[in-house]
Amino acid sequence: MALRTAPRVRSDAVPLRAFRSKGRPSAIAGVGTYAPDRVMTNADLAKIVETSDEWIVERTGIRRRHLAEPGTTTFELATRAAREALQNAEVSAEELDLIVVATSSPDGPFPSVACRVQNELGVPGACAFDVLAACTGFVYGLSLADAFIASGRADTVLVIGAEVLSRMLDWQDRATSIIFGDGAGAAVVRAARRGAGFRAWCLGSDGRGYDKVTAGDIPRGAYAAHQAQPLIAQKGPDVFKFATDIFIRQAYAVADAAGAAIEDIDLFVPHQANRRIIEAAARRVGLPMERVQVNLDEYGNTSTASIPLALGDALKSNRIKSGDQVLLAGFGSGLTWGACLLEWE
């Protein structure tokens, strides 16, 4: 029995699809992270936009964010995180069969960031491509790694979430400039022993909410000739409502698919968008905050990088041990969502 009864679903809510992992099991073998050295505090922001440290902390929980130096590319951050993940997994780049990069801030429409990372790692030949699912992208990337390994099409996969969102911000817009930061996180996924690794998934999207979080002029396209750089815009109250609801529903859905109960979850690692969203979701699911990883006070919302950055911090602080049941869950523009439950190997 779960701690609480699953929430009643609204009549207009899109149905969730959750399923068990099948085939050869896979697990995360190593995690790497990178955040730029440059830091912007809330006090720094208050000098350029009408806000204050107290106002930002109360509404978001964010105190600082790391920003890349002007001219820094997304693939540079991605490569730094990738190298650390490979080192921690004790895997050589030559062993990679697939590289997946999730990003909302690519260095251009093409080529893919993944191909540039592959070149930097010096391993031509491996399959490499990008995934665009906004803040859910890293979980989508992990699901692809699990599927490739399950089918036997790959043995070792590198999944990266990397962002330079600071170049997409209107620094006079208080609604967005206080939220986002830059960073990258990566995970090496390999075949796992039976009974360990990824147990279940919940993945989906609802295009009816495509206009809730956007970057650029939607009618003309983000890379329209008249627009030098797409800028992030969002409808905050709508996003808050959606995020809280989807966090709760997919937590129950993925636990049920895995044959687990909510109280079985040892650590919940959510997308780091807003502390109030995370606290509300944890409270309604029935998870104490002692079992929730939160680090957005340091990094802000780093989109695809937020879950691997949080996972990396949890590992560095010894919050995860072998056999722990770990829930990763995200949501993002699209609207998209994705969650997985894994037993840490």
Strand 325-332 relative to strand 267-270, pairing: parallel
Local structure of 29: helix, strand or coil: strand
- Counting Cα atoms < 13 Å in the Cβ hemisphere of 241 gives 9
What is the DSSP annotation of 200-215? Answer: EEEEEE-GGGTTSEEE
Is residue 36 a part of any domain in this protein? yes
- The answer on pLDDT for 232 being more than 60 is yes
pLDDT the model gives residue 216 = 66
Is residue 241 a part of any domain in this protein? yes
Domain harbouring 174, CATH code: 3.40.47.10
DSSP 254: H
271 is catalytic: yes
135 is catalytic: yes
Query: Is 36 within 8 Å of 182 (Cβ atoms)?
Result: yes
Per residue in 116-158, pLDDT tens?
999 999 999 999 999 999 999 999 999 999 999 999 999 999 9
What is the span of the domain harbouring residue 311?
14-345
Query: Per the structure, how many domains does the chain have?
Result: 1
Is residue 206 a part of any domain in this protein? yes
Which residue in 135, 274, 295, 340 is the catalytic one? 135
Is residue 338 a part of any domain in this protein? yes
- The answer on pLDDT for 3 being more than 80 is no
Average pLDDT of every residue of the chain: 91
What is the rounded distance in angstroms from the CA atom of residue 186 to the CA atom of residue 237? 31
Which residue in 271, 274, 295, 340 is the catalytic one? 271
Candidates 176, 210, 179, 186; CA nearest to 302 is: 179
Is residue 3 a part of any domain in this protein? no
Is residue 116 a part of any domain in this protein? yes
Is residue 61 a part of any domain in this protein? yes
Q: Is the pTM of this model over 0.85?
A: yes
What is the rounded distance in angstroms from the CA atom of residue 202 to the CA atom of residue 257? 9
115 is catalytic: no
Which residue in 42, 88, 274, 301 is the catalytic one? 301
Is residue 270 a part of any domain in this protein? yes
Binning pLDDT at 50, 70 and 90, where does residue 1 land? very low
